[in-house]
């Protein structure tokens, strides 16, 4: 059974960089059918896709965050990572990593991590 | 970006009721539409992909329909475990993948 697990600091200071890692177990991040993504959810609000990466390193970002986001992959560790720079309180959210099943007609986020709350505060 | 609008934003219903949630896209997305269920404190779970295909392991009381700009998620007979928030999500015009604002289904 595929599992994803987010890790990283739960508290980040304003203007600093948020860094999270997602560790994939029970399957290979190098699967050719899948992409890997980050989604966030501010407290009490809806879901926002941040960006995605393919095992080759090819990335796609939400235009609203593109200038501040970097997603990278480490296939040797079966991990992918998120960096979000110049954070403000508006970036406080639960951050999820997820697999995107690209094998079907409509790519869907079919496996998710449990999510990690990141609070931006001094 | 494609905007996804769900209606209603919240809904009260009873166990056994038939419930329909609507999702409208700001432009045609063919059948590139997925539905998710999220319970408090948990990650979303995919229920329906490509507008009408039931994800493996999801009960058959869930169904989806639609194409183009208008889509529906129907729960044929509500069960206690179905009270949750439901999101639609489009995968046609990306980036970005976009979600609806959510529909909170509550017990009447």
Closest to B27 (Cα-Cα) out of B106, B85, B98, B103: B98
- Contact residues on chain A for B53, CB-CB shorter than 8 A: 104-105
Contact between A122 and A15 (Cβ < 8 Å):
no
Q: Per-residue DSSP letters for A62-118? A: -TTTGGGEEEEEETTTTEEEEEE-S--GGG-EEEEEEEEE-SSSS-EEEEE---EEE
Which of A109, A111, A113 is the best residue to mutate to test the B interface, defined by the most B CB atoms within 10 Å of its own CB? A109
**Distance separating alpha carbons of residues A7 and A62, to the nearest angstrom:** 22
Q: How far is A107 from chain B (nearest CA, A)?
A: 6
Cβ of A96 within 8 Å of Cβ of B102? The answer is no
- The tens-digit pLDDT sequence of chain A (122 residues) is 999 999 999 999 999 999 999 999 999 999 999 999 999 999 999 999 999 999 999 999 999 999 999 999 999 999 999 999 999 999 999 999 999 998 877 899 999 999 999 999 99
CB contacts < 8 A (A, B): 76
- Chain B residues with beta carbon closer than 8 angstroms to that of A37: 97
Contact state of A104 with B98 under an 8 Å Cβ cutoff: no
Q: Which of B50, B98, B102 sits opposite A106 (nearest CB)?
A: B50
Q: Which two tokens stand for residue A16?
A: 């600093």
Sign of CA dihedral A20, A23, A24, A29: positive
Tens-digit pLDDT profile for chain B (108 aa)?
999 999 999 999 999 999 999 999 999 999 999 999 999 999 999 999 999 999 999 999 999 999 999 999 999 999 999 999 999 999 998 889 999 999 999 988
Give the three-state DSSP class for B91. coil
Chain A residues close to B6, C-beta within 8 Å = none
Instruction: Report the distance separating Cα B105 and Cα B14, nearest Å.
Output: 10
* Phi-psi label, residue A86: left if phi above 0, alpha if psi -120 to 50, beta otherwise: left
Please check whether residue B95 touches A, CB under 8 A.
Answer: yes
Contacts of A106 in chain B (CB under 8 A): 31-34, 49-51, 91-92
């Amino acid at each position: 059974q595929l599992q994803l697990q987010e890790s990283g600091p739960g508290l980040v200071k304003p203007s600093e960089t948020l860094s999270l890692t997602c560790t994939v177990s029970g399957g290979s991040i190098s699967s050719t059918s899948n992409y890997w993504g980050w989604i966030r959810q501010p407290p009490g609000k809806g879901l926002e896709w941040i960006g995605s990466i393919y095992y080759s390193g090819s990335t796609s970002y939400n235009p609203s965050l593109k200038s501040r986001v970097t997603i990278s992959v480490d296939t040797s560790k079966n991990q992918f990572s998120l960096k979000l720079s110049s954070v403000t309180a508006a970036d406080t959210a639960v951050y999820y990593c997820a697999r995107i099943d690209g094998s079907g007609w409509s790519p869907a986020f079919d496996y998710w991590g449990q999510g990690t709350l990141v609070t931006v505060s001094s | 970006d494609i905007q996804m609008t769900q209606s209603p934003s919240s809904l009260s219903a009873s166990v056994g009721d038939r419930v329909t949630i609507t999702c409208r896209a700001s432009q045609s997305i063919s059948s590139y539409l997925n539905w998710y269920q999220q319970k408090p404190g948990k990650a979303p779970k995919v229920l329906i992909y490509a507008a009408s295909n039931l994800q493996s392991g999801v009960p058959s009381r869930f169904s989806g329909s639609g194409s183009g700009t208008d889509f529906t998620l129907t729960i044929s007979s509500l069960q206690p475990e179905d009270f949750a928030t439901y999101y639609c999500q489009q995968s046609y015009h990306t980036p970005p993948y976009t979600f609806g604002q959510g529909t909170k289904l509550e017990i009447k």
